[in-house]
Structure 1
Amino acid sequence: MSELTAQTSKQIMLAADALALLKRLIATQSFSRQEDQTALLIEDFFRQNQIPFQRLKNNIWAKNLHFDEQKPTILLNSHHDTVKPNKSWTLDPFEPLESDGKLFGLGSNDAGGCLVSLLAAFAYFYDRPNMAYNLVMAASAEEEISGRDGLELLLPELPPIHFAIVGEPTEMQLAIAEKGLLVLDCTAHGVSGHAARNEGDNAIYRAIKDINWLTTYQFPKVSPTLGPIKLSVTIINAGTQHNVVPDTCTFTVDVRVTEQYTLEEVIETIQTHIESEVKPRSIRLKPSSIPADHPIVKAGIALGRHTYGSPTTSDQAVLDCPSLKCGPGHSARSHSADEFIYLREIDEGVDGYIRMLEQVL
C-alpha cells in the first residue's frame, strides 16, 4: 500500500470514528457543568487511538507523540457541553437520528461536529514525526456559559500556544475576528417622593437620559471585519408602586466589543459619558482575531474558503494568542429545536482541518 493510500485510508477510518463518537455524545447528556459522562467518551476515543491524555475536571487534553518544547504549539479546541433543549423540540434531543443525510440531536451542530472533526484531525497527525509545530488537542467544558472551569481553567496547564483553531460551526469558513462581550449593570440614582406632588428626582428619567446616549453613541474606530461596537440595553427595572417616584433605576447593557478597543477602554468611555453607576460583570471575554495573512488563514483561503468577522462569542474570548474560528455546521442551527448537522459536513470537517494543517505542519 502506498503512503498516500494509507493516509487516505486512515482519514476515512477516523471520519467514521468521528461520526460514531458524535452519536455517542448526542446520546449522553452534557449540559454545562454536567459534562462528566461525555468527558469519559472522549477519554475512550483517545484510548482507542492509543493516545495518552490528561484530564482537569471535565476538560480533556492531549499532546502529539513527538512533542518538542523547542517548537511552537498549535491548539485545537472545541467544547463538549450543550445548552438545554428548548420546548420546541419535536424529536428526542438525546436520540441520534439519521434522516435525509442529516444527523439530528442536541449538540450535533454546536459543537459536536466540530469537536469530533478536530479529534479526528489530531489523531491523524498524532504520531507524525518532524512537524514544524506541536499539536495540543483540548476538549473543553462550560463554553456555553463562559464558565471558569472550562478552557480558562485549562490554559495554565498547557504549553505556550502560538495560535489556535477553535471549532465552532462556520460552514468551514474562516472567522478571523470575533467580538468580545461586556455585560454592564448600571444604576441611575435619584430621590424618592410622592408622585402627586412636585417632589423627588425620578431615577427613571435619569436612566432614560443615559440610555439615550448609549443607544446613539458611535465609537469612532470601526473594525474592518466586525464593524462598529454594538451596545444594547436589554433589561430595565425601577419602582415599587404607582404613586412613589423611584430613587433608583437599574438597567443592563450588552456590549459587543471589537478588536479596535480593549474592554477597559470601552468601560472608561461609557463611565465618562453617563451619570449612572457602571459595574462590569466581567472583563474576561475579550475580542479576538488572527491576521488575514496568517499561514493557517492562507491555507484555508487556498481551499476556497472566505474570511469574515463573527458577532458571536466562543472560547476564543479567553485566549491571548491569535485564533481562528472554523468548523463544520451552520451557526444558525445552534441552540435551535431539532438541531442537526449534515453527515457530509463531518467528512468535510475532518478533511478540511487536515488539509489546512498539512499546509503549516
Structure 2
Amino acid sequence: MTQPDVQHLKQTTLPADALALLKRLIATPSFSREEGQTARHIEAFFQEKEILFERLKNNVWAKNRCFDPAKLTLLLNSHHDTVKPNPSWTLNPFEPLVRDEKLFGLGSNDAGGCLVSLLSTFAWFYDRPDMGYNIVMAATAEEEISGRDGLELLLPELPPISFAIVGEPTEMELAIAEKGLLVLDCTAHGVSGHAARNEGENAIYKAIQDINWLTTYQFPKVSPTLGAIKLSVTIINAGTQHNVVPDTCTFTIDVRVTEQYTLEEVIETIQANIQSDVKPRSIRLKPSSIPADHPIVQAGLALGRHTYGSPTTSDQAVLNCPSLKCGPGHSGRSHSADEFIYLREITEGITGYIQMLEQVL
C-alpha cells in the first residue's frame, strides 16, 4: 500500500467531515456525565469511515485495523464533555455559527477542535499495515469534572499504552509537562466560648497561623518546565454567630504539583508543618510529563513547534505513561463566553498531528 502524503489531505473529505462532526457535537448538549448523545455522533463518524469501535458508558474507542499485540501502542485521546455555558454568552452556545472564519459554540475550542482533529488523524492511519506502532483512539467523557467514568474507567480495557497524545487546545505547541492537582480539606480545632469573656480558643486564629505558613512556604525543588509548586487557600468557613468563639474553622487548599514531588510527599510536608487536620479529596490527579528527547516531541520540534509546561490539568493526570498535550485552539478561549475556534485551526490540527506521527510511526 502506498504511504499517504499529508499534502493530499485537502483532497480528501477529512477536513470537511471533521467540521461537520464538530458542528453536530456543538449542537448536542454534553455536560459532564450527560455525554450519551455526543457519544452516538462519534459512533456515527466511525461507522461512516468503516472503523470498528467499542463503547464503555460514554467512552468510545477504536484500534487500528492492523492492530498487532506484539507492537507498542500509541493512545490518541480527547474528551467530548463540556462545562455549562456561563451567563456572559451573547450567542446560543448550542448553535454552531460560522462567522469571520470562526466556528462559535460551546466546546468548539475545548476540546471539540482537538477531538475531531484526532479522530480524523486516526482515520488517516486506520488502514495502514506498515506502522511500527499500533494506534488506539479514545473519545472520552467526564474530563471537565475529573470524573471516574471517563478515561480512568476505560484504561483497564485498553491494551498497554507506550505513550499518549492528549488533545487540548495548545495552538499545536508541545506541552511536555503538566501540573497535577491536589485538593486538601483542612480543619483547625479550638475551644468554643463566649466572645465577651476571655474564654475558649479561637479556631479562626489557629487557621490563620496555618494559612500564613502556606502563603510563605516554598517547596525547594523547582521544575525546569513547570516552575514551583503553587499553594492557594481558596475556601474558608467558621463560626455560627457573632458572640460565640468558634471551635472549628475549615479551609481548602488548591495545590498544583509538579513532577518534582509525588502527591504523597506534598501531603506529608504540609501535615508536618501546620496544626490543622489535613484530608486529601483524592490522590488521583498526578503531574505528568514526557521526556524532551522523546521521538514525538522531537517530531514536533522538527516542525517548528515549541515546548512548555502547562499549569492546567487534563486527562493526562490519570495516565501512567509518557504523554504529550497538544492540539488546535487557544487555552484562553476555554470556558469563555462565545467560545470559538478558527476554521483553519481544524485543518492545521489534522495536518500537524499527521505530520508528527508520520515521523514516528
| TM-score (norm: length of structure 2) | 0.98
Partner of 1:346: 346
Deviations 1:298-352 (A, max 9, x none): 0000000000000000000000000000000000000000000000000000000
For the pair 1:130 / 2:135, whether they are aligned, the reply is no
Contact 1:10 1:124 in 2 (8 A): no
The match for 1:269 is 269
Q: Which residue of structure 2 lines up, in the alignment, with residue 23 of structure 1?
A: 23
Contact 2:6 2:355 in 1 (8 A): no
Name the residue aligned to 1:296: 296
Distance in 2 (alpha carbons) for counterparts of 1:199 and 1:92: 57
CA distance, structure 1, for counterparts of residue 242 and residue 224 of structure 2: 48
Paired residue for 2:229? 229
**How far apart are 1:3 and its partner, in Å?**
6.4
Alignment of 1:94-173 (within 5 A): 94-173=94-173
State the alpha-carbon separation in 1 of the partners of residues 357 and 13 from structure 2: 18
Structure 2 SS opposite 1:359 = helix
Paired with 2:208 and 2:330, the residues of 1 have a C-alpha distance of: 38
Q: How many residues align?
A: 360
Q: Distance in 1 between matches of 2:73 and 2:20?
A: 29
Structure 1 position 100, deviation (Å): 0.4
Per-residue CA deviations over 1:30-84 (Å, capped at 9, x if unaligned) read 0000000000000000000000000000000000011000100000000000000
CA distance in structure 1 between the partners assigned to 2:11 and 2:359 by the alignment = 16
| Residue aligning to 2:39 | 39
Name the counterpart of 1:191. 191
CA–CA separation in structure 2 for the residues paired with 1:327 and 1:70: 29
Question: What corresponds to 2:283 in structure 1?
Answer: 283
Q: Deviations over 1:193-213 (max 9, x none)?
A: 111111100000000000000
Aligned to 2:335: 335
Letter in 2 for 1:78: S
Is this contact kept in 1: 2:185–2:252, CA < 8 A? yes
Cα displacement (A) at 1:279: 0.2
Could you tell me how far apart the structure 1 residues matched to 2:188 and 2:4 are? 67
Q: What residue is the counterpart of 1:253 in the other structure?
A: 253
8 Å contact from structure 1 (residues 11, 124) kept in 2 = no
List runs of 5+ in structure 1 lacking aligned partners. Answer: none
CA RMSD of aligned residues (A): 1.2
Moved over 6 A (4+): none
| CA apart distance, 1:16 | 1.2
Matching residue of 1:92: 92
Residue identity opposite 2:289 in structure 1: S
Q: CA deviation at 1:11?
A: 6.5
Is 100-109 or 10-19 further displaced after alignment?
Answer: 10-19
Residues 89 and 292 of structure 1, relative CA distance in 2, 3 Å threshold: same
| CA distance in structure 2 between the aligned counterparts of 1:62 and 1:136, rounded to whole angstroms | 6
User: Does the residue aligned with 2:95 lie in a helix, a strand or coil?
Assistant: coil
For 1:118 and 1:12, locate their aligned partners in 2 and report how far apart those are by CA, in whole Å.
16
Residue 64 (structure 1) aligns with: 64
Q: Per-residue deviation at 1:12?
A: 3.7
Letter in 2 for 1:225: T
| CA distance in 1 between partners of 2:292 and 2:128 (Å) | 28
Give the letter aligned to residue 171 of structure 1. E
- Provide the secondary structure at the position in 1 that maps to 2:225: coil
Instruction: Indicate yes or no: 2:175 matched with 1:175.
Output: yes
- SS class of match (2:177): strand
2-side partners of 1:9 and 1:223: how far apart? Answer: 39
TM-score, length of structure 1 as denominator length: 0.98
2-side partners of 1:309 and 1:272: how far apart? Answer: 29
1:78 aligns with 78
Hey, what's the Cα distance between the residues in 2 that align with 1:224 and 1:87?
Answer: 38
Structure 2 SS opposite 1:206: helix
Rounded Cα–Cα distance in structure 1 between residues aligned with 2:213 and 2:6: 63
**d(CA) in 2 for partners of 1:43, 1:31:** 18
Q: Percent identity?
A: 83
What is the CA–CA distance in structure 1 between the aligned matches of 2:207 and 2:342, rounded to whole Å? 47
Counterpart code for 1:359? Q
Q: Alpha-carbon deviations, 1:195-247, whole Å to 9, x = none?
A: 11111000000000000001110000000000000000000000011111100
